[in-house]
Structure 1
Amino acid sequence: MAALTAVLTAFALAACTSPTGTPGSTGTPGPGESATNGGAATSSSPTPTTPPPPPPLAWGPTEADVQGWIDEAAGLDLAEAAGQVIIARYSGTDPATPADLVRKLDLGGIVLFAGNIASLDQVIATGEAIQAAGEDLGRDWPTIVSADDEGGRVQRLSGARGPWTTFPSFSHAGDAPAKVVREAMAAMAIEQRASGLNTDFAPDADVTIGPADPTIGDRSASEDPDKAAAAVAAAVEGFTAGGVLSSLKHFPGHGALTVDSHKALPVQEDTTAELEERDLVPFRAGIEAGAPMVMMGHIDVEAWDPGVPASMSAAAYDYLREELGFTGVAITDGLEMGALDAIGDAGDIAVTAIGAGADLLLGPTDPALARQALIDAVEAGTLDRDRLNEAAGRVMAMMDWQTHLASEAGPVSPADVGSAKEAAAALAGY
């Protein structure tokens, strides 16, 4: 509870901060300025000035910070760089299993599903084992420990499996005040971090079309793009305040599609202008609110790249970065899904996705094959090593930034698990 109180206090302080402030700013007068004269120079004579620091990217670090990590990724062994862009699934509840995978394949991270969760102590031990494996590899950035926690029917850390707070579906966020949404997601993040997780594949930024939408439904905040956008932005701010990395999904929007991408490739027939008016509105809002990740959906957008899933399409990644201005980590949706059957095996899918512009591969059916395919493609010249460095470096930069977010949010402990009930109930009231 103390951790949640600290986060909510930080919200209040942030509301009083000048909108022109930058991370790390002390608010002290600069050279030639006075604290009592509104910043006017005290003398008409020229005064040396220090160039202002570069502005941060929307999600936190500066462009130079990210480039520094990309440069560091260039110094990794090829096998290390290839593993860094993979998040793997695993079976069972033994903490040693995912830790061994990280060590063996140099993995960027692990994703937990319901079958990997037995108790709070076991999940904490799993997170600790995964981080120890990353340290054994010589990393000075955290390894990704992630899950899908949206609330409602998609919630891995739920009260059904342990002491975690059960949250309502994200559909409640569409009508809730932004403050309620922020506080609920910050509270969720506190419980996740207290359990050893640092990354959540939420919020859902899809705009649902209602009963005709078989996949998203109440995972979406609203059928109204503007309501969905406001909820998504508030959720991103909440996760950030709680010290957990968030991810907008499923770009460019799955809520208007009547085919489930878990089973087959859905086709989006709308024009780009129509997508901008509906599906893309919450993604733009979430990016502006500081989302560090966008999850690319397995969706055939005919206006961009007919017949090719967005997760495998250079045109889709280009649109995300050039038109929406996204500078963070682009992650694929789960790579075990039926929408990708036509692409090939886990190796073909990995090379195609990274080559198109993905930075992270989520859940390849065979992570060892995916990693080896990336190595082989770089050695054969069919995948540019610079593209792999860019992907790995962005992931490393994001995980380094997560340590900053966690530090800002404050320490957590297992006692914080279950502390979010009041915030969850407030959200459930809408």
Structure 2
Amino acid sequence: MIGGSGSWRIQLASVRSEGEAAAEWRRIAGRHPDALGGLSMQVARVDLGDKGVFYRVQGAGADEARAKSVCAQLRAQNVGVWLSVPSFSGPASVGRGAASSTPVAHPRAVVFGCAGLEVTPDEAAFFRDADPLGFILFRRNCDNRDQMRRLVDDLRASVGRPDAPVLIDQEGGRVARMRPPHWPAHPPMGVFGALAGRDADAAQEAAWINGRLLAHMLAEVGITVDCAPVCDVPVEGAHDIIGDRAFSRDPAVVIALARATAEGLLAGGVLPVIKHIPGHGRAFADSHAELPVVEADRAALEATDFAPFRALADLPLAMVAHVVLKAIDPTAPASTSSIVVREVVRGPSIGFGGLLFSDDLSMNALQGDPRTRAEAVLAAGMDVVLHCNGDLAEMRSLIGAVPVLSGAAAERWARAEAMRHAPEPADIAALTNRLAELLARPRPDGRERTMEEWIFQVTAVALPAIIAITLHEAAHGFVAWRLGDDTAYRLGRVTFNPIRHIDPFGTVLLPALMFFTTGFVFGWAKPVPVNFARLDHPAATWCGWRWPGRGPTSCWRWRRR
């Protein structure tokens, strides 16, 4: 057991006052006496900046087994709960026995990628000697279930640790390393934020289920850590490197849905990594390509960007952004700034106590060679560096710069591992159906249409229609002109300018209303003016023409009998 008997806390609710907290405890305990019997109430005060102060209602006094059993019972009755990280008595207090004590392993403070679908002999030899904490997989490493299972097993075998963590970025949407046809597509996190605007409870349930289904997919191939959820709060005009990867622009929505997603992952036996602490949402550049500089003042950052990470500071793992926060340290990105780490990430602004990963060292936001970058992030206070591109020469260059895990980092990792457990029983088919029901998704990929997709679909319908109308009406006017009536020509209707042929109601308003209500389109263009009295035998003349300058117009005439 971790941290001594009775150190685990069960988070039950979040309210706005201590009085409400006490009332909520009485209500929940009264409804679920079998689950909560013997536990005591504890209230934790959390300051969320401009969102105000909240009070977390917790059941205290349970050991690990009891706490997890209570959570399972309450979740089965549709009560949203989660476990709080227990207090630790020391860096060596790991294990499951009543009084056991197992020394914490100290591998090297780095997570490496690999180049392809299998571990090469050179990679295996290098990993054996380097002994990294763990590994991270990308799209280049994911082909099918059997292949991934072998790859994960071989990576762990290379370091001789069957519990070595294997990480992946499996968020859903565009950030998904494991993709159809071998794995199901999951929606981006923005879909759950959109649902929250319609039904907050449904959104939280959907986010939890999504996290549980992601965990199931990862656990099948042996992956134990998902670099999700994204807890950034994007602002208007920010670079879309975050975009729909974020839940919402409202920190409160991000907090609720990120918490639910993290708990779903944990229920499936996978550790979540909250990212990109202390916030990437205001970045107007992609840190993969260049170094973003955030100009916002400290108050704005505290109220929005930091708020989700502050509320989720009890989770075990976080990834630090390569973003400059000018109001705090204008000289360095957060990942290489000891000021940001000390004052914000570990300090009162956020108060994160778990293990810190750097974002990928290979990203162009950082300067210098890989060794220099690794030294910089470790000096700033990262616990573990990520090197993801699988370049063996670069990985070799890091060995002299990256030490083994520090005692504090090893304790944080042990604490994280203690939160990971065997997946709780779940009916995956039923959860999949329930998620589809909650999202009410008409599309097979489970995504709502983005604004870009709506524009594309409308354009795909409207543009051919406008071209057809223009050619049709111009042809009417041209034929009338060639047959003797120049009315349309004088009024500018013998033209390829579509504006001349559009009727505001018949060509624009009516078709638009029908498209968005019925999916069926009907309309008309502005009629072409023709003075039939001036036409040369309109009922008896066919006329053909050639392009101007290419020959005379020829007509064939006949008389009706």
* Distance of 2:213 and 2:327 partners within structure 1: 39
In structure 1, what is the equivalent of residue 75 of structure 2?
none
User: Does structure 1 residue 232 correspond to structure 2 residue 258?
Assistant: yes
Q: Give 1:269 shift.
A: 1.6
User: Does structure 1 residue 429 correspond to structure 2 residue 421?
Assistant: no
2:248 aligned to 222, 226, 230, which one?
222
Higher strand proportion: 2
Q: Give 1:142 shift.
A: 1.5
1:209 aligned to 235, 248, 252, which one?
235
Structure 1 vs Structure 2 CA RMSD: 3.2
Distance change (3 Å), C-alpha of 1:110 and 1:240: same
Structure 2 regions of 5+ residues with no counterpart? 1-11, 13-30, 40-58, 68-81, 95-101, 197-201, 442-561
User: Residues 50-65 of structure 1 correspond to what in structure 2 (within 5 A)?
Assistant: 60-65=85-90
Equivalent position amino acid for 1:334 in 2: D
Distance change (3 Å), C-alpha of 1:101 and 1:424: farther
* Distance of 1:362 and 1:300 partners within structure 2: 19
Q: Give 1:346 shift.
A: 1.3
1:169 aligned to 160, 184, 188, which one?
188
In structure 2, what is the equivalent of residue 283 of structure 1?
309
Q: Give 1:68 shift.
A: 4.5
* Distance of 2:347 and 2:92 partners within structure 1: 18
In structure 1, what is the equivalent of residue 163 of structure 2?
142
In structure 2, what is the equivalent of residue 293 of structure 1?
317
User: Residues 305-320 of structure 1 correspond to what in structure 2 (within 5 A)?
Assistant: 305-318=329-342, 319-320=344-345
* Distance of 1:103 and 1:221 partners within structure 2: 40
Structure number with higher relative contact order (C-alpha < 8 Å, ≥ 6 residues apart):
1
Equivalent position amino acid for 1:374 in 2: V
In structure 1, what is the equivalent of residue 157 of structure 2?
132
In structure 1, what is the equivalent of residue 413 of structure 2?
395
User: Does structure 1 residue 339 correspond to structure 2 residue 365?
Assistant: yes
Q: Specify the SS of the correspondent of 1:348.
A: helix
User: Residues 99-138 of structure 1 correspond to what in structure 2 (within 5 A)?
Assistant: 99-134=124-159, 136=160
* Distance of 1:214 and 1:151 partners within structure 2: 15
Equivalent position amino acid for 2:140 in 1: G
User: Residues 242-281 of structure 1 correspond to what in structure 2 (within 5 A)?
Assistant: 242-281=268-307
Residues 259-283 of structure 1: CA distance to partner in whole angstroms, max 9, x if unpaired?
1111111111222221121111211
Distance change (3 Å), C-alpha of 1:67 and 1:271: farther
Q: Check the 8 A contact 1:364/1:370 in 2, yes or no.
A: no
1:189 aligned to 199, 203, 215, which one?
215
Aligned length in residues:
357
In structure 2, what is the equivalent of residue 85 of structure 1?
109
Q: Give 1:303 shift.
A: 2.0
User: Does structure 1 residue 374 correspond to structure 2 residue 402?
Assistant: yes
Q: Check the 8 A contact 2:345/2:352 in 1, yes or no.
A: yes
Max Rg structure: 2
Distance change (3 Å), C-alpha of 1:193 and 1:364: closer
Equivalent position amino acid for 2:440 in 1: G
Q: Give 1:253 shift.
A: 1.2
Name the TM-score, length of structure 1 as normaliser: 0.74
Distance change (3 Å), C-alpha of 1:67 and 1:296: farther
Residues 29-76 of structure 1: CA distance to partner in whole angstroms, max 9, x if unpaired?
xxxxxxxxxxxxxxxxxxxxxxxxxxxx9753432254557x946xx7
Q: Specify the SS of the correspondent of 1:374.
A: coil
Q: Specify the SS of the correspondent of 1:351.
A: helix
Q: Give 1:190 shift.
A: 1.7
Residues 186-229 of structure 1: CA distance to partner in whole angstroms, max 9, x if unpaired?
12112211111000000000111245432100000011111111
* Distance of 1:106 and 1:281 partners within structure 2: 36
Q: Check the 8 A contact 1:300/1:307 in 2, yes or no.
A: yes
Q: Check the 8 A contact 2:335/2:382 in 1, yes or no.
A: yes
Q: Specify the SS of the correspondent of 1:111.
A: strand
